[in-house]
Amino acid sequence: MSATPLMPKATAVWLVENTALSFDQIAEFCRLHPLEVKAIADGEAAQAIKGLDPVSTGQLTREEIERGQRDTKYRLKMAETKVRVPAQKRRGPRYTPVSRRQDRPNAILWLLRNHPELKDAAIMRLVGTTKPTIDSIRNRQHWNSANLTPSDPVTLGLCSQIDLDLEVERASKNAPPREVEGATLLSAEQTTAADALAAAAMRSGRRDDDELDAEAVFAKLKSLKGPVEDDEDDAY
């Protein structure tokens, strides 16, 4: 799969106006829908967009265009660039579009509640905010705290799931292990030993009860037998 050309719609405008390529060929090369290309050709879309020559920008060659015009089933291939530009690492907080900036407090509240292990610097990188804003939301001193609703920043489009998982994994490695709250299960050795002790105590209690009952019976018999013998002696 080839890369997306620079300014896809402007490139599509130029190809529609200057070549005999089919709508499907232009759509696949520019990563657009064929109906979008048809709308451009009919003048219903991209009227204010100036065409961009992909040949002058090094994205296509004349030979590639001519080959596509001869064979409508042929799919255009992006020309290989001779200059490799290294990817620049982003520095500082992420840029957030103006239309999404109102959602940042909700995203910050969601991150504070669901990922307390994240440091403020990580939240700043994910959402593109500042430390005072994070502190105000954490301390409930934000001017709109009463109306904030926790919202996933990935769902809001403020960051990608990959970036969020990466920050969470990085924070989890540096965070101390959490203590397990609540009761824990005993081991098998402890449970079996406790059951054996309980059974032995029950058996011992039953034996003690039996001995006590036997002594009580004998005592009653002796008390009943005594007066009878005295009566017999008086008779004689």
Per-residue buried b or exposed e for 132-148, using 16+ beta carbons within 10 Å of the residue's own CB: ebbebbeeeebeeeeeb
Domains of the chain, by residue range, sit at 8-70, 98-174
**What pLDDT, on a 0 to 100 scale, did the predictor assign at position 228?**
47
Around 225, how many Cα atoms within 13 Å sit in the side-chain half-sphere?
Answer: 6
Any idea which residue has 């039996």 for tokens?
210
Contact call for residues 5 and 59 (beta carbons, < 8 A): yes
**What pLDDT, on a 0 to 100 scale, did the predictor assign at position 177?**
59
Q: Length of the chain, please?
A: 236
**What pLDDT, on a 0 to 100 scale, did the predictor assign at position 234?**
47
CA distance 69 to 60: 13
Contact call for residues 70 and 21 (beta carbons, < 8 A): no
CA distance 55 to 89: 30
**What pLDDT, on a 0 to 100 scale, did the predictor assign at position 236?**
43
CA distance 44 to 38: 9
Cα–Cα nearest to 64, from 51, 76, 56, 54: 76
Q: At what angle do helices 161-174 and 120-127 cross, to 10 degrees?
A: 170
**What pLDDT, on a 0 to 100 scale, did the predictor assign at position 205?**
56
CA distance 93 to 121: 9
Per residue, the 3-state secondary structure of 131-171, as one string, reads HHHHHHHHCCCCCCHHHCCCCCHHHHCCCCHHHHHHHHHHH
Query: Across the 236 residues of the chain, what is the mean pLDDT of every consecutive 10-residue run?
Result: 75 91 91 89 82 87 90 86 53 56 88 91 90 92 90 87 88 66 54 61 56 58 55 46
Cα–Cα nearest to 29, from 71, 68, 56, 63: 68
CA dihedral for 198, 203, 209, 211, sign (positive or negative): negative
Alpha helices in the chain (DSSP H): 8-18, 23-30, 34-41, 62-70, 104-114, 120-127, 131-138, 153-156, 161-174, 188-235
Against a cut of 0.75, is the pTM above it? no
